């Protein structure tokens, strides 16, 4: 599978080994690309061939996994990359990006970095749901039993199950409905996706109300079924939203209000002590 660790992967070495031996020959090693005078190879392929023959989706998959995807893998991976789109201001990443753009309108890059940095487990990264599902699959037990065990573990760990729930969409997440359907049609909603379905059903049984799969959960399941590394999955969650961030940043710079603030009317609220003063010094007394 694409996410499997290569058998030829070097064992991690401590910096002390290089310092002690004085041999720094393999200190910087990569299997991703090689650049020489007049030649560039990416994962062993001449870069000219890749630019001429592969799509952006195929090229990205090759870079991340080391292999060119087959037709099914490419279609599923493309679905993952295009599914984020945008969701107005219901994203901490958008707020962070637009705040930065309002204060630094000279370039989109700082604002893009801010938006990506605001993409994490709380703001919808698929990494945590993927890790949860990979752990459940590794138990090699019935999906229904695994779902019960998973919920118990994650409720104890942090009081919530990754990949479920949305602040706005209470019945079903519109993106998830179509992404799940298309993934099923492509044969990409497999063991991890089915485990997520079982977890959603078990949570609904326990709480007597529906807490739907969110996009992070769906993408975590699909990319886990693709065999991708959890680190790659987390990075994809941030990068796939990059175009939406760039659109927001451009709109903010061209049409927004320089230096965004949060006034009381928009929810700013002070909850600290009332006005008070330091004790008077001796020179102030009398």
- Quote the pLDDT of residue 9: 54
Q: pLDDT tens for residues 2-46?
A: 544 444 455 678 898 889 999 988 888 999 999 999 999 999 999
In this prediction, what percent of the chain has a pLDDT beyond 90?
71
Domain count, the chain: 3
Do residues 245 and 233 both lie within one domain?
no
- SS in 3 state form for 90-153? CCHHHHHHHHHHHHCCCCCHHHHHHHHHCCCCCCCCCHHHHHHHHHHHHCCCCHHHHHHHHHHH
Q: Both ends of the chain: CA-CA distance in Å?
A: 82
47 part of a folded domain: yes
- Quote the pLDDT of residue 2: 56
102 part of a folded domain: yes
Q: pLDDT tens for residues 124-142?
A: 789 999 999 999 999 999 8
Does residue 183 carry a pLDDT above 80? Answer: yes
The range of the structural domain enclosing residue 104 comes to 92-120+241-260
Do residues 172 and 190 both lie within one domain?
yes
Do residues 234 and 146 both lie within one domain?
yes
According to DSSP, the residues that pair with 213 across neighbouring strands are 164
DSSP label of 9 = P
Per-residue CA distances from 166 to 91, 154, 207, 214, 273 (Å): 11, 17, 16, 6, 34
Do residues 252 and 231 both lie within one domain?
no
Other CB atoms within a 10 A radius of the CB of residue 190 amount to: 16
6 part of a folded domain: no
Do residues 142 and 198 both lie within one domain?
yes
Do residues 146 and 45 both lie within one domain?
no
- Quote the pLDDT of residue 3: 46
Does residue 167 carry a pLDDT above 80? Answer: no
Mean pLDDT, the chain, rounded, equals 91
């Amino acid at each position: 599978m694409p996410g499997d660790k290569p058998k030829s992967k070097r064992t991690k070495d401590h910096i002390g080994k290089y310092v002690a031996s004085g041999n720094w020959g393999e200190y910087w090693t990569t299997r991703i690309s090689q650049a020489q005078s007049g030649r560039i190879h990416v994962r062993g392929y001449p870069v000219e061939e890749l630019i001429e023959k592969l799509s952006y989706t195929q090229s990205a998959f090759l870079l991340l996994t080391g292999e060119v995807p087959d037709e099914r893998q490419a279609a599923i991976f493309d679905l993952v990359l295009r599914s984020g789109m945008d969701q107005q201001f219901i994203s901490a990443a958008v707020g962070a990006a637009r705040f930065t753009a309002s204060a630094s309108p000279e370039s989109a890059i700082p604002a893009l970095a801010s938006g990506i940095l605001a993409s994490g487990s709380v703001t919808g990264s698929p990494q945590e749901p993927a890790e949860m599902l990979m752990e459940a699959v590794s138990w090699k037990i019935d999906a229904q039993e695994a779902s019960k065990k998973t919920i118990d573990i994650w409720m104890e760990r942090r009081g919530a199950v990754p990949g479920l729930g949305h602040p706005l969409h209470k019945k079903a997440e519109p993106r998830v409905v179509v992404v799940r359907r298309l993934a099923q049609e492509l044969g990409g909603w497999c063991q991890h996706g089915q485990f997520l379905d079982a977890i959603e059903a078990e949570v609904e049984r326990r709480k007597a109300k529906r807490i739907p799969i969110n996009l992070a959960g769906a993408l975590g399941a699909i990319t886990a079924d693709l065999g991708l590394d959890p680190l790659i999955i987390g990075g994809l969650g941030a990068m796939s939203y990059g175009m939406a961030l760039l659109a927001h940043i451009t709109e903010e710079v061209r049409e927004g209000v320089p230096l965004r603030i949060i006034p009381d009317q928009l929810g700013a609220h002070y909850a600290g002590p009332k006005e008070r003063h330091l004790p008077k010094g001796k020179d102030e007394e009398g």
